[in-house]
Structure 1
Amino acid sequence: MSELTTLSTLAVSAFLAATLLPGGSEAVFAGIVALQPGLAATALLTATIANTAGGMSTYLLGRLLPRKEVPPRLAQVRRWGSASLLLSWVPLIGDALCAAAGVLRLNWVACLCWMALGKGLRYAAIAWLLGG
């Protein structure tokens, strides 16, 4: 498989994994790092950007919802603000955090930065564990 195909597959996997669709990009990322260690840095960047883009699409969906009274269960996200998106990579709650940030109309630039940091650290940890 060519590098472009490999990275494109990773990008699609990472994007879809960060949306409301089921899936996990960690296995694809880990496979690339394990089988092609020379691509580790590029794969890290690709996965982080694509996974963040997927998370931001969920943020946008939340932002497009008509704003009425904010449900009380969003109090923690409101309390921690965009920094709560540092945990946007966590399965199940990550999608909810991204959507909640949109519903709360949190600053999109701050959300993007915290989300990218959290998702990037997750992929970096996987690469580090694999020695990549």
Structure 2
Amino acid sequence: MTEAWLEIGGLFVSAFVSSTIAPGGSEAVLAYLIAEGRHPALQLVGVATLGNTLGAMTTWGLGLLAAKRYPAAALLPAKSQRALELVQKRGVWALFFSWLPVIGDALCFAGGWLKLPLLSGVLIILLGKLGRYGAIAWVFD
């Protein structure tokens, strides 16, 4: 029982950290756990999606805080600058791609910076991340 909690908790932490400004590899953790077959794939996908979405919302919050202190977008690094422009152009729907490596975290940061609607932002981020983890589960199950 304890081992199961450690595995699932580890997946949650890995997914959370992977979606903040820190690098991580939650996809590999999910693929491993699914291949092991000790937990239902749906449960693992749910845990990874929840952790990754909460991490994205942490990054969103950092963007919101940064916008209060540093309202000039020119202070952002080039990666975040591109993400900010994309989110300004496409709106909240750009957040669907928050699962992408490199630019995904910047998209969430830009969503907070631009003060996009929170509820629709969370739902769109969640859908994108669920799709990614669902695809990984499908491949490794």
Scaled by the length of structure 1, the TM-score of the pair is: 0.92
Q: In proportion to residue count, which structure has more helix?
A: 2
Unaligned 5+ segments in structure 2 are 75-80
Which residue is equivalent to 1:28? 29
Q: Which amino acid aligns with 2:44?
A: A
1:78, CA displacement in angstroms? 1.3
Match of 1:128 among 124, 135, 138: 138
Q: Which runs of 5+ in 1 are unaligned?
A: none
**Which runs of at least 4 in structure 1 moved beyond 3 Å after TM superposition?**
69-73
- The reply on whether 1:44 has 2:45 as its aligned counterpart is yes
C-alpha contact 2:16 2:55 (8 A) present in aligned 1 = yes
Aligned mates of 1:124, 1:13 — CA distance in 2: 16
TM-score by length of 2: 0.86
Name the SS of the counterpart of 2:40 in structure 1: helix
Structure 2 CA distance, aligned partners of 1:76 and 1:6? Answer: 36
User: What is the CA deviation profile of residues 57-105 of structure 1, one whole-angstrom value per residue up to 9, with x for unaligned ones?
Assistant: 0000000112624457423211211111111011110010000011000
Q: Percent identity?
A: 40
Equivalent pairs counted in the alignment come to 131
Is this contact kept in 1: 2:20–2:58, CA < 8 A? yes
Aligned pairs (5 A) from 1:1-132? 2-36=3-37, 38-65=39-66, 66=68, 68-70=71-73, 73=82, 74-130=84-140, 132=141
Given that residues 31 and 137 in structure 2 are in contact (C-alpha distance below 8 angstroms), is that contact kept between their aligned partners in structure 1? Answer: yes
